[in-house]
Amino acid sequence: MRMRLIPDETKIDFFSRSKLWLGISGLLMLGSLVSFLMLGLNFGIDFRGGTTIRTESTQAVDVGDYRAAIDELGLGDITITEIFDPTFAEDQHVAMIRIQSQDDQEAASAEMVETVEAALAGVTPDIRFVSVESVGPKVSGELIQTAILAVSLAIAAVLVYIWLRFEWQFAVGAVAALIHDVVLTIGVFSIVQIKFDLAIIAALLTIVGYSLNDTVVVFDRVRENLRKYKQLVLKDVLNLSINETLSRTLMTSGTTLLALIALLVLGGDVIRGFVFAMTWGIVVGTYSSIFVASAILLKLGVKRDWTKTGGKGNAGTQFANVDA
């Protein structure tokens, strides 16, 4: 006897309020764009240029004292954040200090690091510099351009792939869902001001792939059912296809989330931004595969003449049998 968390045969009408879901998604995307324009992103050292110093000590971190000690050095804009993590020992106190890029230096000089360490030693005698990272302004600007290009090319490649494998209506729905996921993820990072660095770009690309996988599974079943149920209207075919793949979609997302939540809680602050982006991306990716991609496909409609000609009509599915 097997335990079933999700029934084999569900009959949920996912399109009874499709306009509402699309409206909510549109508002969330608009809110994300407004947040991005007004608040911006909390760019990490990869994109901003400058020096990040991670410190440890057995004494509690006093951000005010740290700031007062470093301000006297005249190094410009600084950000000091105390790091909390359940994996830290009771006497392990960690701080992250970010110092803006100096005008005449591409990287932090040894003298500057020693000066900062000496200043902080006056506040916390046993302070240790665990890591020091430096990125010059020129390099950080190039990284921003490369990151935008990487995400854009990934979405463009998806557009071409789906267009060849299915029809252009499927491609539009899939790409709209991917853009939806990326925009909402950037919006969340803008609102909560979690550090946005190259690891988050990697997470965005992973989200694109994961969301695409979910969408292709649904679209494959839609195509099969369009051939199998020639008399059903498109809305009923979409509902049937999503219900048939619902168990697979939720179980795959659920098991992935279990691992991500464990990493989010126990993985430490170094990977927390990446794991947060992945966790959020899995949730919105699953949502968009059902409520965005399929809803847009329903609005655009699909030519069904190929169901009567053995797939040799003008549906643009000449690569439909290519394994992905």
What is the band of 139 on the pLDDT scale with cuts at 50, 70, 90? Answer: low
Whole-number pLDDT of residue 317 = 44
Tokens 């600007």 belong to 141
pLDDT, tens only, 36-58: 999 888 877 667 777 888 889 88
How far are the Cα atoms of 50, 68, 71, 267, 271 from residue 79, in angstroms, in the given order? 11, 12, 11, 24, 20
Retrieve residue 288's tokens: 């968009």
Residue of higher predicted confidence among 10 and 237 = 237
Specify which of 43-52, 140-149, 164-173 reaches the highest per-range mean pLDDT: 164-173
How far are the Cα atoms of 43, 58, 92, 132, 264 from residue 85, in angstroms, in the given order? 21, 15, 10, 20, 10
pLDDT above 70 as % of the chain: 84
The 10 Å Cβ neighbour count of residue 177 is 30
Retrieve residue 246's tokens: 């619902």
43: which DSSP letter? B
Query: Against a cut of 0.85, is the pTM above it?
Result: no
Do residues 214 and 249 make contact, with C-beta atoms less than 8 angstroms apart? yes
Residue of higher predicted confidence among 166 and 182 = 182
- The partner residues of 57 in beta bridges, in order of sequence, read 93
Do residues 25 and 288 make contact, with C-beta atoms less than 8 angstroms apart? yes
Domain 18-42+140-307 sits in CATH at 1.20.1640.10
Average pLDDT in the chain: 79
Whole-number pLDDT of residue 114 = 83
Three-class SS of residue 59?
A: coil
Q: How confident is the model over 7-27, as a mean pLDDT? A: 80
Do residues 273 and 196 make contact, with C-beta atoms less than 8 angstroms apart? yes
Do residues 121 and 59 make contact, with C-beta atoms less than 8 angstroms apart? no
pLDDT, tens only, 171-230: 888 888 888 988 998 899 999 888 887 788 888 888 888 888 888 888 888 888 888 888
Q: How confident is the model over 89-113, as a mean pLDDT? A: 75
Distance from the Cα of residue 67 to its chain's centroid: 33
pLDDT, tens only, 267-291: 776 678 888 888 888 888 888 888 8
Whole-number pLDDT of residue 163 = 76
Query: Where exactly are the structural domains of the chain?
Result: 18-42+140-307, 50-135
Whole-number pLDDT of residue 8 = 62
The 10 Å Cβ neighbour count of residue 125 is 10
pLDDT of 4 strictly over 70? no
Whole-number pLDDT of residue 1 = 46
**Widest Cα–Cα separation across the chain:** 82
How far are the Cα atoms of 104, 234, 315, 322 from residue 166, in angstroms, in the given order? 54, 15, 8, 11
What is the band of 30 on the pLDDT scale with cuts at 50, 70, 90? Answer: very high
Q: Could you name the CATH architecture of 50-135?
A: 2-Layer Sandwich (3.30)
pLDDT of 24 strictly over 80? yes
Characterise 323 by phi-psi region: left (phi > 0), alpha (psi -120 to 50), beta (else).
beta
